[in-house]
Amino acid sequence: MSVPASAWMLGACGMGVGPLAIYLKGAGCDVSGWDDATGSPMEAHLATAEIPLLRDPWAAGRTPVVVGRSSAVKPGHPALDLASQQAARVLRRGELLAESVAGRRFVAVCGSHGKTTTCGMLVAALASAGADFGYVLGGLFRDPDFPPARASATSPWVVAEVDESDGTIGAFSPDVTVAVNLDWDHPDYYRDEAALEGVFRALFERTRTAVVIPVGNERLERLTQGLQAQVLRVGSDGDYAASFLSGDHASSRLSLGGRFPNVEVTLPVAGAFNRANATMALAVSHLVTGGLVAAPLARWSGIRRRQDVLFERSGLRVLADYAHHPTEIAALLHWIRDTHAGRLIVVFQPHRHTRTRQYATEFRQALQVADHAIVLPVYAAGEAAVEGGRSDAVVAGSSLRLVEDRASLPALLSGLSAGADTVVAFVGAGDIERDAELFAKALRAEGLPALTEDLGELVAGKVSTACIVRAGEPLARRTTFGVGGAARWYAEPATVDDVVVLLRAAGRLGLPYFILGRGSNLLVPDDGYDGLILHLPAETWGQVTDLGDGRLRVGGGAKLKELCGFAAKAGLTGFEFMEGIPGTIGGSLRMNAGAMGGWIFDVVESVEWLSPRGVVRAARRDCFDALYRDCPQLHGAVVLSAVLRARGTATTEAIRLTMDEMGQKRRASQPRDASAGCVFRNPGNDKAGRLIEASGLKGTHVGAATVSPIHANFIVNLGDARAADVLALMREVRRAVQERHGCVLQPEIVALGREWKDLL
């Protein structure tokens, strides 16, 4: 089998399945995806590749031949049950990748750690050389315009990293295998070291042309003895020779020889581990292309979550890295020591209980390079806890500090980093990036001068004169709730080109962004939003055009109330339920707004939007999985317009009568005080409002935030409420309902820039 005709990819927002989905799409496969967790930066790349996220592709009129899944999607998952009902063929990510590259000249990058970086460097080296090839990365480049995967219609070469963690490495028969290293790992899958070594030896034996290994790795030397394929060594005295001449914290000068041309090159990497990976990438690029260009890594921009600099000012740098094996943690910390003077503080989150049990001593030894090392609770990744597999095993008998309360980290780190030059490194493969981002945000909130580019300066002269860009914009007055702090940046673009410039500037600066309509269904935290707010004003983006045949084209900034008035005047029915929803078309599509028994996607024919990478896209209604208060395909999108279709026709008087009746019903059942609408989702077949009222909570208040006496699922602001008051009241409501009814209410409103799991 080669590339399947159609596929449904489960776990599509992850770093393994997402790039493969993009590769398959580029190779001509009809691809859709799904993921239980949304909000990943992979979604932007999926949207650019026009891969819809569909909970049930069969219901959307698609018939996937293959269902590809992440190994994290376990048997018993509803999506796998659905695939079984449809008699679809289910393959793990590695199995599907192996079948899709069968017959190609496949370059497999493998190893215990560093393979994503090495694979990315190889992709960058081949791209810098102008080569034609396909690739599948296991992560994201820092450059948002460099996609994580690409298919080539003309070249037989495909580069991808292969994963040993779930055994799917056994499905590959490469043309070239690049083994970056090999350490004992994954005790949850392999019974002992010999079993792990066996799968690598078998991969080397199936390799047809060459196996590339680093000089001096005794284990790989042993496992590559007696192969039919050529074994090529890379290092100071290898077949591909490279010697370090000089460097600084961001670059290295190397002298090349052996199979390389006898030249000196400057590479945009620093540290021994990065230099070794880069040299491996250059060796394989030379093997594939037969040459080496003057700037062999000109396209290298780095990999997200690998040595990311989140904050920097004189005397303080905050880094985040994905390292989660003792060898790579040691390499990372030695790199920091080699390239940064001063004090080193490390925050480490162990990944998986089985790995923690196996390597507790090695983790402790690696972390002792730091001046201060803080260990967080284990990120389980779906594993059950095991004896000896908790974080206390890492800190036992050492000066390392175990911190159970992650909320205390910013204050603790601020105290430890005061004074001398300091690097704070957040290390781990779980959700530790959340802690890193919160600490960096706390530093910015203190008003410390960060050495980053200014968004206003970055877009000056590139946006139209009508585009508004402001710093420190108060957001409370721009929401229906009337609470919250200011946005770091606020913009009102006047053209599509303005939006593209703003999105690319935000991407360059690593700023999150949010598209704000009328600010309903939204809670802005008291400390505001550390990103860019984009608002499409109705005056520019709110046009409604009658296309005839009951169809209306509506701008993304159009207010629903004005749309309803236009439709009524034109004698078009089906829009009446939207009249009392205080939102815009763009925001209403993003959350699939509804009222009075109707949802906006009931009347959608097509949507046109701008992807996070600034590409205009359009799709029919059947490409959207419109869920209860959510449309995953529009996460991060800027809705430009939508074509809506009326359900029928009637006189203007009759339509207005219907709207008046709905309005009277709404006014009788909903409060008029400032609110964000219904706070909690309706659970199952019950109503959140009924459960809250039955718990005796109407009128309960924290400060000026009050559970409405009219509708218990509304929290109203009676004057000077703060976001903290609203959050405290939400916690009390959830606690009381759970205690009395055994039901845990989930929020329906959006917490700007935050995740509810961190707030409630």
Q: What percentage of the chain reaches a pLDDT higher than 70?
A: 98
CATH topology of domain 308-445: Protein-Tyrosine Phosphatase; Chain A (3.90.190)
User: What digits encode the pLDDT tens for the residues 592-602?
Assistant: 877 777 788 88
Question: What pLDDT score does 39 carry?
Answer: 63
Q: Which CATH architecture has domain 103-303?
A: 3-Layer(aba) Sandwich (3.40)
Where residue 570 falls (left for φ over 0; alpha for ψ -120 to 50; beta otherwise) is alpha
**Residue 348 C-alpha from the chain's centroid:** 21
User: What digits encode the pLDDT tens for the residues 691-700?
Assistant: 999 999 999 9
CA distances from 482 to 344, 475, 593, 708, 717 (A): 43, 8, 20, 16, 7
Q: Which of 428-442, 488-502, 570-584, 585-599 has the highest mean pLDDT?
A: 488-502
Written as one letter, the residue type at 665 is K
Q: Class of 1-99 per CATH?
A: alpha beta
DSSP state, residue 381: T
CATH of the structural domain 455-535, one choice from 3.30.2130.10, 3.20.20.70, 3.90.76.10, 3.30.43.10: 3.30.43.10
Read off the pLDDT of each residue in 419-441 and give the average, rounded to a whole number.
85
Angle between helices 409-416 and 432-445 (to 10 degrees): 60
Question: What pLDDT score does 446 carry?
Answer: 66
Question: Which residues share a beta bridge with 617?
Answer: 609
Question: What pLDDT score does 685 carry?
Answer: 83
Cα 30 from Cα 253, distance rounded (Å): 45
Cα 679 from Cα 713, distance rounded (Å): 6
Alpha-carbon torsion 706, 707, 709, 710, what sign?
Answer: positive
Query: What pTM value is reported for the model?
Result: 0.67
- On average, the pLDDT of the chain sits at 88
Please tell me the number of Cα atoms within 13 Å of 182 on its side-chain side.
29
Question: What pLDDT score does 755 carry?
Answer: 84
User: What digits encode the pLDDT tens for the residues 469-514?
Assistant: 999 999 999 999 999 999 999 999 999 999 999 988 887 787 889 9
Q: Class of 539-655 per CATH?
A: alpha beta
Domain ranges of the chain: 1-99, 103-303, 308-445, 455-535, 539-655, 672-759
* Residue 236, number of CB atoms within 10 A of its CB: 14
Tell which residue, 509, 395, 506, has the closest CA to residue 451. Answer: 509
Read off the pLDDT of each residue in 119-139 and give the average, rounded to a whole number.
94
Q: Is 308's pLDDT higher than 80?
A: no
CATH number of the structural domain 672-759: 3.90.78.10
